[in-house]
Amino acid sequence: MVQQDPSFRLFGRIWRATFISRPNRFLIYCNLNGRTVPAFLPNPGRLQELLISGRRVYLIREDGFRRRKTHFTAVAVLRNGVPIMLHTHRTNAMVKYLLQRDRIPGLEGARIIRSEVLMGRNRFDFLLRKGKKEILLEVKSCTLVGQRVAMFPDAITERGTRHLRTLAAFSEHGKKGAVLFIVHWPFAEFFMPDYHTDLNFSKAFLDVRHKIKIIPLSIRWQEDLSLLPETRRLQIPWGYIEKEARDQGSYLLILELRRGRKISIGKLGDPFFKKGFYVYVGSAMAHLTKRIERHRHLRKRHHWHIDQLRAQTDFISALVIRSSTRLECEIAERLSKICEWTIPGFGSSDCACPTHLFAMSENPIHSENFQNLLQYFRMDRFGQ
């Protein structure tokens, strides 16, 4: 096996800063040497578990873009001492490097014919030749990682679903297809589609597994953003995915109450709700998507405690935890340990839990403790 140069880098000079906030998908604010600077973020993913206030981010300076108001570009974020690459546009340069050195299992001996290949209305990253066969290769950058599990995508991707099904269709006409998931986390052992976030992508992932080559590859970036030579192909637990990737499970409904007030909640009477963010834990072991849609709308008949609270609050988010088993009481127990206050008896009349409604003064989406809880139930419970 040819050893690659461990000093391979995608970037030149790097600035280290501290993450402050992300006002939109493509912009973040950082603290750089005591001053607040904006930086372009070339990654449309949600990245909520990575972009936590106080985290170290890596910046490069790019002054050649006339239409951009930002001089800096965010290229990576530090998690547990390990950089995770954020710059999706540069991933292909690294993949090209790995291909040339036969460091991608399953694609050894493949040579690049050309990049950015247009096939119908789809554009794929590489056209390869391995022996007498041509292979269309699509590359996906994976940053959604737990302790041992990596998942993709972290946001709904119609384009990604279309790529899977199109590659599978080409395979039926003699053209080989492959998808390479670059996992920027060296400790991952397993790879799965994120069925919590994008059930359609997950169904396509299962449908095409016998038609195209699926390669999840773990890599490691060093502190200076140089690439270590080791790569490792991850396992895909197909049986587990088939069991869990269904429209059932639990959810966390996040609502904001902008002004404290008393709210009539059925037999609970008129408890006072302080200003803040409320997290309701619910479940639907069938038609979970429809249940979430119901919570989004205000015009409906009130059946549950949450309907009466929803009528007085702003909808912030609904976070799904798909599972073949009912987890809402376990989730509620863990939430009770990180919340600031609760409404006793809310939504828990049919179980032994003290409550299923928890509150915080700030949006829990930006809380590392909350993100760790979500990661545990979505990813880290696997294998337990």
Token output for 298: 């205000």
Cα–Cα dist 213/193, whole Å: 15
CB of 144 within 8 A of CB of 153? yes
Residue 302 vs residue 348, higher pLDDT:
348
Q: What is the pLDDT of residue 384?
A: 66
Bridge partners (DSSP) listed for residue 138: 179
Looking at the predicted structure, is the pLDDT value of residue 259 above 70? yes
Q: What is the pLDDT of residue 4?
A: 43
pTM of the full structure:
0.93
Residue 142 vs residue 302, higher pLDDT:
142
| Domain co-membership, 124 together with 224 | yes
Identity of the residue numbered 278: Y
Name the domain boundary from 214, 244, 274: 244
Residue 3 placed within a domain: no
Q: What is the CATH number of the domain that holds 109?
A: 3.40.1350.60
Residue 5 placed within a domain: no
Nearest to 91 by CA among 25, 38, 45: 45
| Domain co-membership, 57 together with 127 | no
Q: What is the pLDDT of residue 303?
A: 82
Q: What is the pLDDT of residue 174?
A: 75
| Domain co-membership, 112 together with 192 | yes
Cα–Cα dist 79/70, whole Å: 25
* Confidence grade of residue 5 (pLDDT, cut at 50, 70, 90): low
Looking at the predicted structure, is the pLDDT value of residue 29 above 70? yes
Q: What's phi and psi for 112, nearest 5 deg?
A: -80, 125
| Domain co-membership, 182 together with 263 | no
Q: What is the pLDDT of residue 101?
A: 93
| Domain co-membership, 120 together with 194 | yes
Looking at the predicted structure, is the pLDDT value of residue 188 above 80? yes
| Domain co-membership, 220 together with 273 | no
Residue 349 placed within a domain: yes
Alpha helices in 257-327 (DSSP H): 288-296, 305-310
Cα–Cα dist 289/205, whole Å: 19
Rounded mean pLDDT, 289-308: 90
Residue 2 placed within a domain: no
Q: What is the pLDDT of residue 383?
A: 72
Residue with tokens 């809880």: 373
Looking at the predicted structure, is the pLDDT value of residue 3 above 50? no
Name the domain boundary from 80, 98, 129: 80
Q: At what angle do helices 328-335 and 368-375 cross, to 10 degrees?
A: 160
* Confidence grade of residue 66 (pLDDT, cut at 50, 70, 90): low
Looking at the predicted structure, is the pLDDT value of residue 171 above 90? no
| Domain co-membership, 157 together with 240 | yes
| Domain co-membership, 67 together with 99 | no
Counting the structural domains of the chain, the total is 3
Token output for 16: 């280290």
CB of 44 within 8 A of CB of 55? no
Q: Give per-residue pLDDT as tens, 174-184.
A: 789 999 999 99
CB of 264 within 8 A of CB of 302? no
Q: Give per-residue pLDDT as tens, 326-364.
A: 999 999 999 999 999 999 999 998 899 999 999 999 999
| Domain co-membership, 101 together with 44 | no
* Confidence grade of residue 298 (pLDDT, cut at 50, 70, 90): confident
* Confidence grade of residue 1 (pLDDT, cut at 50, 70, 90): very low
How far is C-alpha 114 from the chain's CA centre?
30
* Confidence grade of residue 2 (pLDDT, cut at 50, 70, 90): very low
Residue 8 placed within a domain: no
| Domain co-membership, 118 together with 232 | yes
Name the domain boundary from 244, 272, 307: 244
Q: What's phi and psi for 345, nearest 5 deg?
A: 80, -5
Cα–Cα dist 288/197, whole Å: 12
Residue 198 placed within a domain: yes
| Domain co-membership, 101 together with 181 | yes
CB of 59 within 8 A of CB of 30? yes
CB of 233 within 8 A of CB of 217? yes
| Domain co-membership, 140 together with 265 | no
Cα–Cα dist 91/75, whole Å: 11
Rounded mean pLDDT, 251-263: 97
* Confidence grade of residue 119 (pLDDT, cut at 50, 70, 90): confident
Q: Give per-residue pLDDT as tens, 42-55.
A: 999 999 999 999 99
Domain span at residue 147 reads 88-244
